[in-house]
């Protein structure tokens, strides 16, 4: 088990290349189940979520060959094997095996998913969608059993705008008989990416990226080649890092339009950002001013950037109020930031950040993926050395984090934890 050590204070400069999008990759891999011949996906991020999904595809009989960032998946020998426990719990996106296996085999048994602990994360809208398509869905001892004689297209109104439910229903509906309409669908770029892959496989989907998606079911889907979009959350994290501790940082392989809400807030704080076609050049302004943020569904401010943004606010002058309307309890990073001298109060579902303060290095624990990103931002700004444990979360979503930051001039490295530290970590 490892920990990250960061010595704060070094100015970041140079170029960083953003990897493929985690939240696309984790849906594109299960989507390959729906094809009847080889699917090739290029530009995958090298993160643990991708490795685990590849293993799950093999567990159901898929032939998976990973060559660098390109994966070749031959789904022809896959079977509807139950996946009740084990790896399924290590990540959130294993829930996409429900939609994909239901679409192809009309049956599946999948354990309830894991993923970041952000308060309650129900999957009732996924289930409502599968039932509307004709599936019988039961929850037996922590596993979801899905079975349908046939899937029939349906009109499905999502009560909550959900990325996962939108994608999962799309995965099943592409193989249903007739037309499915998903209303109040989520509009995240990753949904368009999945729809693009499915369309290349022969699916008929209109409206992905809007709040009404229309799908005409088809009898079969074939293999294809697909290149994944860049990770807007990783790009946003580096943009925040550059605003916090940058001199001049060029962020490469980014779609600036995917980050409009973040860029608007950073500019409001005084950060200077130039947008190219696929690049952002970020320079901190003379003084950072506090702003308020409220997370919303896309294209609003992403909840996945709320935590790293909170760390940045500790450096800004004034008071900033951070409200998360998607996950009201996504504030586990705050106690850790307080250990580092941050002045933050949590009141009624909002974090109130007072600044500027000089953060101090401390021993802290990442409780989830973006809490980890928040601690990295804080550690790079802090006086002295910050020790971060809980790397299994960070490794789910950030490829080569320490290497990318070292290239930008950060003093950051990994070390093996001692047995005593591991014991303390497990008991904390």
Ligand X SMILES: CC(=O)N[C@H]1[C@@H](OP(=O)(O)OP(=O)(O)OC[C@H]2O[C@@H](n3ccc(=O)[nH]c3=O)[C@H](O)[C@@H]2O)O[C@H](CO)[C@@H](O)[C@@H]1O
Site for ligand PEP in 153-192 (CB under 6 A): none
Residue in 111, 115, 256, 390 binding ligand PEP, rule: CB under 6 A: 115
The Cα–Cα gap between 125 and 166 comes to 9
In whole angstroms, the minimum distance from the beta carbon of 232 to ligand PEP comes to 11
Question: What angle do helix axes 22-31 and 232-245 make, rounded to 10 degrees?
Answer: 170
In what side-by-side order are the strands of the sheet with 350-355?
Answer: 293-295, 318-324, 350-355, 343-347
**What's the closest the beta carbon of residue 129 comes to ligand X, in angstroms?**
9
Query: CA–CA separation, 36 vs 38, rounded Å?
Result: 7
Site string for ligand X, 302-321 (x = CB under 6 A): -xx-----------------
- What does DSSP say about strands 70-74 and 39-42: parallel, antiparallel, or unpaired? antiparallel
Q: Residue 122 binds what, of ligand X, ligand PEP, none (CB under 5 to 8 Å, by partner type)?
A: ligand X
Task: Tokens for 4, please give them.
Answer: 């990250």
Stretch touching ligand X by CB under 6 A, among 133-141, 160-168, 174-182, 210-218: 160-168
Decide whether 74 or 304 has the Cβ nearer to ligand X: 304
395 is in an annotated binding site: no
Q: Interface with ligand X includes 333 (CB under 6 A)?
A: no
One of 190, 193, 234, 304 touching ligand PEP (CB under 6 A): 304
Q: By C-beta, is 58 or 159 nearer to ligand X?
A: 159
Measured CA to CA, the distance from residue 66 to residue 317 in angstroms comes to 47
349 lies in the site for ligand X, by CB under 6 A: no
Residues 56-95 contacting ligand X, CB under 6 A: 92-93
E-strand stretches of 43-106: 63-67, 70-74
Tokens linked to 22? 């985690």
| 399: contact with ligand PEP by CB under 6 A | no
Q: What CA–CA distance (Å, rounded) separates 377 from 336?
A: 12
Binding-residue total with ligand PEP (CB under 6 A): 9
Is 92 near ligand PEP (CB under 6 A)?
A: yes
Q: Is 92 known as a binding-site position?
A: yes
Q: Which CB sits closer to ligand PEP, 91 or 224?
A: 91
Q: Which of residues 367-386 bind ligand PEP (CB under 6 A)?
A: 369-370
Shortest CB 126 distance to ligand X, Å: 5
Is residue 45 involved in binding ligand X (CB under 6 A)?
Answer: no
CB-based contacts of 250: which residues, under 8 Å, 6+ apart? 14, 15, 16, 279, 280, 281, 282
Residue 422 marked in a binding site:
no
Catalytic position from the list 32, 71, 98, 116: 116
Is the distance from CB of 318 to CB of 110 less than 8 angstroms?
Answer: no
Q: Which residue is nearest to ligand X (CB)?
A: 164
Q: How far is the CB of 293 from ligand X (least distance, A)?
A: 14
Residue number with CB closer to ligand X (74 or 368): 368
Residue 129 near residue 172 (C-beta atoms within 8 A): yes
267 is in an annotated binding site: no
Is residue 175 part of an annotated ligand binding site?
Answer: no
The residues with which 144 forms a beta bridge, in sequence order, are 110, 139
Does the annotation mark 116 as catalytic?
yes
Contact between 126 and ligand X by CB under 6 A: the answer reads yes
Q: What is the DSSP track for 146-215?
A: EE-SS-B--EEE-SS--HHHHHHHHHHHTTSBSEEEEES----HHHHHHHHHHHHTT-EEE-BTBSEEEE
The CA distance from 96 to 86, in Å, is: 16
290 contact, one of ligand X, ligand PEP, none, CB 5-8 Å limit per kind: none
Nearest to 335 by CA among 364, 315, 355: 364
Omega within 30 of 0 (cis) for the link into 356? yes
Of 12-20, 91-99, 191-199, 348-356, the window that binds ligand PEP (rule: CB under 6 A) is 91-99
Rounded distance between C-alpha atoms, residue 1 and residue 417, angstroms:
6
Considering only residues 76, 139, 160, 345, which one is a binding residue for ligand X as defined by CB under 6 A? 160
The SS3 of residue 349 is coil
Q: Which two tokens stand for residue 163?
A: 């990325």
User: Rounded to whole angstroms, how far apart are CA atoms 424 and 206?
Assistant: 52
Instruction: For residue 229, say whether it is annotated as part of any ligand binding site.
Output: no
Instruction: Name which of 197, 198, 177, 195 is nearest 186 in CA terms.
Output: 195
**x-or-dash string of contact with ligand X, 166-205, rule CB under 6 A:** --------------------x-------------------
Residue ranges of the binding site for phosphoenolpyruvate: 22-23
Where along the sequence are the contacts to ligand PEP (CB under 6 A)?
A: 91-93, 115-116, 304, 369-370, 397
Residue ranges of the binding site: 22-23, 92, 121-125, 304, 326
Where along the sequence are the contacts to ligand X (CB under 6 A)?
A: 23, 26, 92-93, 120-126, 160, 162-165, 186, 303-304, 326-327
> Catalytic positions, please?
116
């Amino acid at each position: 088990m490892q920990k990250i050590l960061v010595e704060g204070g070094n100015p970041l400069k140079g170029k960083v290349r953003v990897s493929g999008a985690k939240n696309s990759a984790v849906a594109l891999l299960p989507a390959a189940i729906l094809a009847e011949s080889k699917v090739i996906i290029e530009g995958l991020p090298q993160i643990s979520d991708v490795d685990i999904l590849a293993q799950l595809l093999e567990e159901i009989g898929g032939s998976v060959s990973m060559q660098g960032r390109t994966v070749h998946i031959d789904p022809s020998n896959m079977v509807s094997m139950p996946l009740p426990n084990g790896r399924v719990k290590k990540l959130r996106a294993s829930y996409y095996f429900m939609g994909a296996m239901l679409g192809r085999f009309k049956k599946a048994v999948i354990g309830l998913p894991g993923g970041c602990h952000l308060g309650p994360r129900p999957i009732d809208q996924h289930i409502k969608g599968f039932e509307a398509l004709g599936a019988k869905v039961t929850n037996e001892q922590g596993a979801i059993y899905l079975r349908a004689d046939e899937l029939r297209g349906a009109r499905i109104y999502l009560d909550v705008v959900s990325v996962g439910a939108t994608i999962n229903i799309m995965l099943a509906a592409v193989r249903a008989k007739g037309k499915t309409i998903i209303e109040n669908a989520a509009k995240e770029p990753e949904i368009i990416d999945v729809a693009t892959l499915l369309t290349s496989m022969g699916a008929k989907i209109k409206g992905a990226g809007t709040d009404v998606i229309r799908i005409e079911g088809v009898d079969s889907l074939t293999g294809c080649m697909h290149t994944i979009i860049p990770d807007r959350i990783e790009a946003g994290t580096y943009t925040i890092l550059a605003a916090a501790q940058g001199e001049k940082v060029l962020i490469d392989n980014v779609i600036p339009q995917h980050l409009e809400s973040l860029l608007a807030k950073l500019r409001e704080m005084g950060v200077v950002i130039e947008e190219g076609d696929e690049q952002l050049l970020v320079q901190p302004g003379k003084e950072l001013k506090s702003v308020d943020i409220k997370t919303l569904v896309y294209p609003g401010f992403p909840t996945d950037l709320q935590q790293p943004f909170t760390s940045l606010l500790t450096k800004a002058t004034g008071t900033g109020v951070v409200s998360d309307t998607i996950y009201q309890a996504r504030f586990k990073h705050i106690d850790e930031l307080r250990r580092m001298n941050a002045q933050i109060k949590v009141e009624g579902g909002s974090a109130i950040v007072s600044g500027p303060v000089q953060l101090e290095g401390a021993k802290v624990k990442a409780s989830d993926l973006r809490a980890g990103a928040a601690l990295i931002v804080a550690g790079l700004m802090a006086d002295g050395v910050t020790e971060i444990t809980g790397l299994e979360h960070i490794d789910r979503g950030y490829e080569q984090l320490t290497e990318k930051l070292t290239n930008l001039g950060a003093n950051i490295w990994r070390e093996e934890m001692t047995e005593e530290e591991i014991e303390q970590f497990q008991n904390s």
